[in-house]
Amino acid sequence: MIPMASLEVLMLVGVGSPAALLALLGSASLVNRPLPERWTGRLAAGAMAISCAAFCAALLVYATIRMEAMVLYDAWSTSHPGGIAIEFLLDGMSLGFAALSAAIAGIVSAFSNRYLHREPGYNRYFFLLSMFVTGLLLVALAGNVEVLFAGWEFVGLSSALLVGFFHERPAPVSNALRVFSVYRISDAAMLSAAVLLHHVAGSGSLSLLFGGATFSSAAGPTGTDATMIAVLLVVAVAGKSALLPFSGWLPRAMEGPTPSSAVYYGSLSIHAGCFLLLRAAPLLEQSTPARLLTGGIGVATALYSTLTTRVQSDVKSSLAYAALTQVGIIVVEIALGLYTIAFLHLAGHACFRLLQFLSAPNVLHDLHGLEAAVGERLAPGGGYLEARVPEGVRRQLFLFALERGFVDAVLDRLFVDPFFWLTRQMSRLDRFLCDVVIRRAPSILVEAAEDRDD
């Protein structure tokens, strides 16, 4: 009992710490009394350190007791049946990912404290970072679909607002909106999966999806239901992790500050989808079509991004696509059932890519330093794949990669443009109908209106 209770306390401290920072910074901004930069930096560092320490301690406790725990607050929204409960599922994978997330967030927080020194949006940045960390921890520890969805939304909104961080320029803002539009598709798919799970299983407990030690007495989804839920989850993951066909938003997201690009698109946010797929692996195993879809998307994404990363002209976009290549491979590993390898791959890749992103602003400086030490220009490396591809094919692939697979253009042509055309026609029709109704209205009503003008 005592270790279980301590596990719950540590979890609450771990999640509550960035949440408290979020509340504090948000309240201060709302009353137009933003904290001084020094205070914000210290509070952020402290909150992330506490969170990291709490989850590391929780991992140690879990390693000792080797027992999963479900923390349930079932009367959070209402005492009536059918309300929303708050559930957390504490096991090795969730605590491990939470500890990794808290550690990476702490590193990025410390880096950002210096990187964004005297930046006008300093407080805003840390507010959004704390929102992201809170959301990601909710995703990691979610025991039911409502908590998962809440975390998912926090991650998405903070990501979009950080893409538009330099909001005095139009390009970051436009790109942020584009990123958010893909996230909304992902959120809609996630919510649909959650609702379907409720509808099918009568419960929103994620133990129905995650299998293992079952904390719910309800039967998990099977057959067509499992396929539908799994496919919706795959769509949600594809949107959040920039898998095909949603990869177009990834280079746009590089508009944000480098530390946010590191934590979102290098290490954590882009892997959140993979983590969710890992958790939902038992559900995937019940649905061969969903598994094939997952594997196919993973392969296509890996091939696509390994081509695209080679032609990028800026280091952050190149790193983003390189990260996406690995994410595609992780997704393939999950589809093949290699869960342990996938988790280790995820954790190692997140740390490695974080380092690369944080070093990105210095890459030219580091290169010049290296060349100065060596005493000559260094020959460009790589090119192994290019050397094996015929010239004609290489040109076609170069064009394909340069245009980023025409993904955005295809999606715009197929979905965005028709949507805007249709809705604009509907808007015109509304105006026309209103005019017709007014002109044809019984005269008594029109006269009653016009009498008041006299």
Partner 1 sequence: MIDARYWLAGVLALPALVAGASLLRVDVERLRRLAVVSAIVMLLASLAVAVAPDLRAVSIRTSILSGARGGEALVRIDALSSALLPFAAGLWLLTVAVTPRAALDRAGLRRTALATLATLASFLTESAVVLLLLWIASVWTFLSALSDPAHRHQRRVVATYLGASTVLFGAGVALLVWPMAQGTRLEIVGMWLIVVAALVRMGIFPFHAWVPEVFDHGRLGPAILFSAPQLGAYVTVVLIVPRASPDVLRVVAILALCTAVYGAALALVQTSARRACGYLFVSQSALVTAGLDCTSVSALAGGLLLWLSAGTAFAGLARCVLVLEARRGRLDLSTHHGGYERMPVLAISFLSMGLACTGFPGTLGFAGQELLVDGAVDVFPVLGFAVVLASALTGLAVLRMYFALFCGRRDALADSGIHLGLARREAWTFALLVMVLVGLGLAPRPVVDSRFTASEEILRLRQARLVTSLESPSAPSSRVRAPGE
Per CB under 8 A, residues contacting partner 1 are: 27, 29-32, 75-80, 82-84, 120, 146, 149-150, 153-154, 157, 160, 164, 167-170, 173-174, 176-177, 180-181, 184-185, 187-188, 191-192, 195-196, 198-199, 419-420, 423-424, 426-427, 430-431, 433-434, 437-438, 441, 445-446, 448-450, 452-453
Return all residues near 25 (Cβ < 8 A) that are at least 6 apart.
34, 35, 40, 43, 123, 126, 127, 130
CB 40 within 8 A of CB 121: no
- Closest to partner 1 by CB, 31 vs 372, is 31
- Closest to partner 1 by CB, 387 vs 426, is 426
- Closest to partner 1 by CB, 49 vs 84, is 84
Least distance (Å) from partner 1 to the CB of residue 309?
Answer: 29
Distance CA 318, CA 123 (A): 29
Q: What are phi and psi of 88, to 5 degrees?
A: -125, 135
Least distance (Å) from partner 1 to the CB of residue 167?
Answer: 4
Q: Give, to the nearest 10 degrees, the angle between helix 223-240 and helix 288-308.
A: 20
SS3 category, 90: strand
Burial class (CB in 10 A: 0-12, 13-18, 19+), 374: exposed
Residues in the chain: 454
- Closest to partner 1 by CB, 100 vs 147, is 147
- Closest to partner 1 by CB, 39 vs 420, is 420
Least distance (Å) from partner 1 to the CB of residue 365?
Answer: 29
- Closest to partner 1 by CB, 81 vs 381, is 81
- Closest to partner 1 by CB, 196 vs 338, is 196
Least distance (Å) from partner 1 to the CB of residue 333?
Answer: 30
Least distance (Å) from partner 1 to the CB of residue 55?
Answer: 22
Least distance (Å) from partner 1 to the CB of residue 448?
Answer: 6
Least distance (Å) from partner 1 to the CB of residue 444?
Answer: 9
Q: What are phi and psi of 142, to 5 degrees?
A: -55, 135
Per DSSP (E only), the strands in 115-248 are none
Query: What is the DSSP code (8-state) at residue 264?
Result: I
Distances (CA, A) of 128 to 18, 51, 205, 244: 11, 17, 28, 27
